[in-house]
Amino acid sequence: MKSIDPSTGKMIKEYRDYTLKECDDIINKTHEAYESWSQTPFSRRSVLMKRTAEILRNEKTELATLMSREMGKVIAEAEAEIEKSAWVCDFYAENAERFLSDEYIESDAGKSFVSFEPLGVILAVMPWNFPFWQVFRFAAPALMAGNGGLLKHASNVPGCALAIEDVFRRAGFPEHLFRTLLIGGNDVAHVIANEKVKAATLTGSEHAGSMVASNAGKHLKKTVMELGGSDPFVVLKDAAMEKCAQTAVTARMINSGQSCIAAKRFIVENAVYDEFVERVVKIMSGLKGGDPLSRSSRFGPLARIDLVEEIDRQVRESIRLGAKVETGGKRMKVSGFYYQPTVLTRITPCMPVFSEETFGPVLPVLKVHSEEEAVEMANKSPFGLGGSLWTRNIEKGIRLARRIEAGAVFVNGMTKSDPRLPFGGVKRSGYGRELSHYGIKEFVNIKTIWVA
């Protein structure tokens, strides 16, 4: 495994892959740690999770710098990600016991209740784009529920993966309760097949999700999938345009456009189409990119060279089909994996920038002639992760939000994840939920206890 700085294209460090024998040994040790951890009271679990949050905040600068160097996130966003990771640790430290308390139900028994008990060792297959947040939003509820955790992180962020393991160890968790497996994707099936691994969760591509889900299905093991997204950003004619346009650029450019819940398809009513385009072009064309460790950089490089090549293909193919470049549209002539912030108009649903998931700083704008057509275009996608809808009429916004096929719709706001709210998708964006009380109950045994 190679850690490569995407701002320069130069290798930072090379890591040796673990052998399957080493993986099996780690799994055995994690299972042993789980057996005692599952009997540890919530009060003790909470203390250690709080300590984890404290370490993250105290070492925010160092951990954020590691993240920026390995996958190119600008330092301000990297620091915010560390803070958010600490937040989810605090959230479950404070709420896990309440979320998992016995639920008493009246029945024909003298007493009947539901008990929420840990499953065992859970495998997490995680992506590179939010290398700390994605892991902690799994690990915090999973460990607080009494489970053990195995992390198979993306191959381009091994330094982040090992740093997370080290944070949990230094916080005082049992040494092997949360372990990183430095393995390639082809070895995941071997881990899932291990009888001591009880379930798996994945955040990533449709292809990776289908592979993990099918392997888990062979062994009758539960999975949670958070997959791709092509989130609609719907602008109705009565939207508050200044705030809407600024949020549109922020929603598209977060993590240089490399986010599952970044706004990706901008669907605008014709009455305000020209004004919206003018505003976003002005903002996008003024964004400054550069060294992700520089405080003045508004966006950084894409994480890998193949991602630059893919977004460039999608743009060029869309132009061939009739899209117009309003700004950007090309690779930046600098070292590293940079792409110009791009706005495309004259978009049709058949173009790759509308029909495919785009992972990069490209903002395509589609004109519609009514709110009915806007909803139709919003749902014209195989994905259903999130969405954003803009209107001054709140009741109308709620009514239309109910009709958009997605796991979350934000009215007059940017789609985001929050520990207090459930997160996940429908259609090809996956299934199951993370965060909130729904997320912590994904990997527990919901057990009925009936007493005569």
Backbone phi, then psi, for 267, in 5-degree steps?
-110, 110
Nearest to 230 by CA among 417, 431, 380: 380
Q: How far, in whole angstroms, is CA 67 from its chain's centroid?
A: 15
CA separation, residue 414 to residues 386, 389, 417, 418 (Å): 10, 9, 10, 12
Per-residue pLDDT of the chain (452 residues), as tens digits, is 999 999 999 999 999 999 999 999 999 999 999 999 999 999 999 999 999 999 999 999 999 999 999 999 999 999 999 999 999 999 999 999 999 999 999 999 999 999 999 999 999 999 999 999 999 999 999 999 999 999 999 999 999 999 999 999 999 999 999 999 999 999 999 999 999 999 999 999 999 999 999 999 999 999 999 999 999 999 999 999 999 999 999 999 999 999 999 999 999 999 999 999 999 999 999 999 999 999 999 999 999 999 999 999 999 999 999 999 999 999 999 999 999 999 999 999 999 999 999 999 999 999 999 999 999 999 999 999 999 999 999 999 999 999 999 999 999 999 999 999 999 999 999 999 999 999 999 999 999 999 99
Q: Return the active site residues.
A: 226, 260
CA separation, residue 359 to residues 260, 277, 398 (Å): 8, 21, 28
Structure tokens at 70: 């390995």
Backbone phi, then psi, for 382, in 5-degree steps?
-75, -10
Structure tokens at 109: 């028994």
Three-state DSSP at 353 gives: helix
Half-sphere exposure of 174 (CA within 13 A, CB side): 23
Q: Answer whether 152's CB lies under 8 Å from 183's CB.
A: yes
End-to-end CA distance of the chain: 58
Nearest to 413 by CA among 252, 248, 280: 248
- Cα separation, 215 vs 55, in Å, equals 36
Would the pTM of this model clear 0.85, i.e. be above it? yes
Q: Answer whether 242's CB lies under 8 Å from 279's CB.
A: yes
Domains and CATH numbers, the chain: 2-227+429-451 (3.40.605.10), 231-411 (3.40.309.10)
